[in-house]
Amino acid sequence: MSVRNKKAIFLSKFLSFHMSSNEQIFDTVEVEDSRIVASSSTGNGAKNTRVRYATLALCIFYLLLSYLLFAFSIGLNLTTRYIGQFSHDQIQYIWTLNWWPYAVSHQINPLFSTSIWHPYGTDISFAPASVPGASLIALPITLILGPVASYNLLIIGGNALSAFLTFLITKYLTKSFTAGVIAGLLFGFSTYQFVQEIHLHMELTFLIPLIAFLCVLYWDEKIQRIAFIILVGSCLTLQYLFAIEIFVTLALFIGISAIIFMLVYPEHFKKFMHFFLNLSGAYALCTLLLSPFIYAALKNGIPTKPFNPAAFFSIDPLNFIIPTPATYLGAHVFSQLSSTFGSRFETSGYLGIPALAIICLYTIQYWHEKMTRFLFLTFLCFMLFSLGPTLHIAGHASFPLPEYLINKLPVISQLLPARLTVYVFFVASLLIGLWAGKNITGWRASKNGFTQFLKYILVVLALICIFPNVRGGTAYTDTHIPYFFTSGVYKQYIRRGDNVLYIPYASDGDSMLYQEYTNMYFNLAEGYVTTWTLTPKIFLQNPITTKLLYKYLTKPPLTSHDFNAFKKYLQDFKVNEVIFPQSEYAHLQPIVSRLHIIPVNIKGILVYKIPEA
């Protein structure tokens, strides 16, 4: 027997002993032993180099694909256009991306702002649109190019990172590069990501696969206990600073997954309790790092009433198989049916029949493996939770669901069930990646060329089904900042620190975008960085607040009878200037005409200077 064969046999026995001597939870990992035995150290070095280059190329590919699918129509206009169809929601994030560095550099408490809803201000620490973590990461871009560019690049980079980190965990589990690529595409460019593109805090999901990957590595003893606590604690802290909602739902995801894990793997109870203790240490570190934010939230009071009705922002079970206008295929064919699913900005459940078919095939074929049962039960659990407190089918309510009980818990009641689909897509991408690792690239893959071809076709169909609706180009919105602000003329009519009432009002208009453009030169007697639940009550007590929100609310138009409430608003909130486009004059004429002030018209922008009392 040759020396080479002896070495091969020894290495094979060593690998066999190593695999059997360690607890293998992730029994879906497959390595073709013959390839390992046959490869030399030199060959392995060359192979590792190729893998590194391929991984780098894949990272660039994900980044380029993210740009093409989310921002292609923007081109290089990153500072004058922002990603997503027209909605004033994006302006909240653009404003907060600028607010955090502005507040810190001017030694202002960044957790509370009087620049909006002036002079009373509003709590920023608990505002859904407050993204201090994203603001910190994008700080160099904000300082050089501005917050609009930061907003765009965060979405492009965030989705690419979500795909890449999902690739890493799937490649680790399957030892298959191809399977990792498929899983990354399914999560990083899922229907959820395209539907939520106007909500920056919900779009930054890359910490979900990263935390999951760290947990897997720690379980396999690839990282030390202290490193695990520090890394996961830091990730949880950053997630809170990205989106409190995902921070809370991630805790729910970890909790539900832990329960299912223990039901499937009761023999690992002791090891799991040790793991859970260290995970608790990560949360303790997170709590310590977030103490200023938690203190501010508790001091100002955490809202107890839901921000939005959970029943309206829930997933219709038909949405898992029926496409919506968010996807390219079937966007118009099923538009009438999909219109009954609820808000078009939250109907993010579409997986498609091919993806569901792969998940079912994999689950049936590998049900005997505990990892399969663990992932599939977690997948089903969050599909169920995303349906909300009541089952709705094609707009018709039927009976209560388990989420009805969860929705009664404090803090949890603030969550939107439809947004739990992020975990549905994450687990689905792992299941499909594991299926691909075994059935397409693994040693169990069919040797029949036609069968193999059909499997590839099924994966391609799953990806095609969730391809976004980019008819006419990717969705974007122009900033359209008026000449009044771009020219600097505003400084002749507004003193620094003046309180301005700009109409269209609050969430109906772009006043905060103009304020950000001037680097907070003036204050606003209005604002929009949170739901109306967190709006200062003194503003809500004045009837003119809701009267001015005429854009999207059905109500009688303004009349001269509203003048007294309008005048009281100006006096109570010490408004110095009322400013609005000339196109709004017809709506506001009944009240502004009674001010008996001659406005200044600067290229279509009317400025009413309110005399001091």
* Judgement on whether residues 391 and 517 belong to the same structural domain of the protein: no
Domain boundary among 433, 465, 497: 465
- pLDDT score recorded for residue 466: 93
3-state secondary structure of 326: coil
Element (H, E) at 164: helix 147-174
- pLDDT score recorded for residue 238: 97
* Judgement on whether residues 461 and 513 belong to the same structural domain of the protein: no
**Paired tokens of 27:** 């029994």
Element (H, E) at 501: strand 499-502
**Which residues partner with 392 through β-bridges?**
397
CA-to-CA dists, residue 15 to 92, 217, 274, angstroms: 55, 19, 27
- pLDDT score recorded for residue 304: 67
Residue 74, domain member (yes or no): no
Residue 256, domain member (yes or no): yes
Residue 468 DSSP one-character state: B
Residue 167, domain member (yes or no): yes
CA dist., res. 570 & res. 548, Å (int): 13
Tell me the CA end-to-end span of the chain in Å, nearest whole number.
Answer: 104
Q: From the CB of residue 27, how many other CB atoms can be counted at a distance below 10 Å?
A: 12
* Judgement on whether residues 451 and 487 belong to the same structural domain of the protein: no
Residue 44, domain member (yes or no): no
Half-sphere exposure of residue 377: CA atoms within 13 angstroms, side-chain side: 16
Q: Which residues neighbour 485 within 8 Å (Cβ) at sequence distance 6 or greater?
A: 514, 517, 518
Domain count, the chain: 2
* Judgement on whether residues 509 and 399 belong to the same structural domain of the protein: no
* Judgement on whether residues 172 and 293 belong to the same structural domain of the protein: yes
* Judgement on whether residues 426 and 565 belong to the same structural domain of the protein: no
Burial of 468 (0-12, 13-18, 19+ CB in 10 A): buried
**Paired tokens of 525:** 């007697």
Expressed as residue numbers, the domain containing 126 is 82-465
Residue spans of the chain under pLDDT 70: 1-43, 303-306, 404, 441-450, 550-555, 613
* Judgement on whether residues 447 and 496 belong to the same structural domain of the protein: no
How many residues are recorded in the chain?
613
3-state secondary structure of 605: strand
Residue 59, domain member (yes or no): no
* Judgement on whether residues 564 and 429 belong to the same structural domain of the protein: no
Domain boundary among 465, 493, 514: 465
Residue 69, domain member (yes or no): no
- pLDDT score recorded for residue 86: 78
CA dist., res. 282 & res. 77, Å (int): 41
Residue 24, domain member (yes or no): no
Residue 51, domain member (yes or no): no
Please compute Rg for the chain using Cα positions.
27
* Judgement on whether residues 316 and 212 belong to the same structural domain of the protein: yes
* Judgement on whether residues 459 and 495 belong to the same structural domain of the protein: no
Half-sphere exposure of residue 529: CA atoms within 13 angstroms, side-chain side: 32
For tokens 């687990």, name the residue: 427
Domain boundary among 465, 492, 525: 465
Dihedral (CA of 183, 188, 194, 196) sign: positive
* Judgement on whether residues 449 and 521 belong to the same structural domain of the protein: no
* Judgement on whether residues 375 and 513 belong to the same structural domain of the protein: no
CA dist., res. 168 & res. 422, Å (int): 18
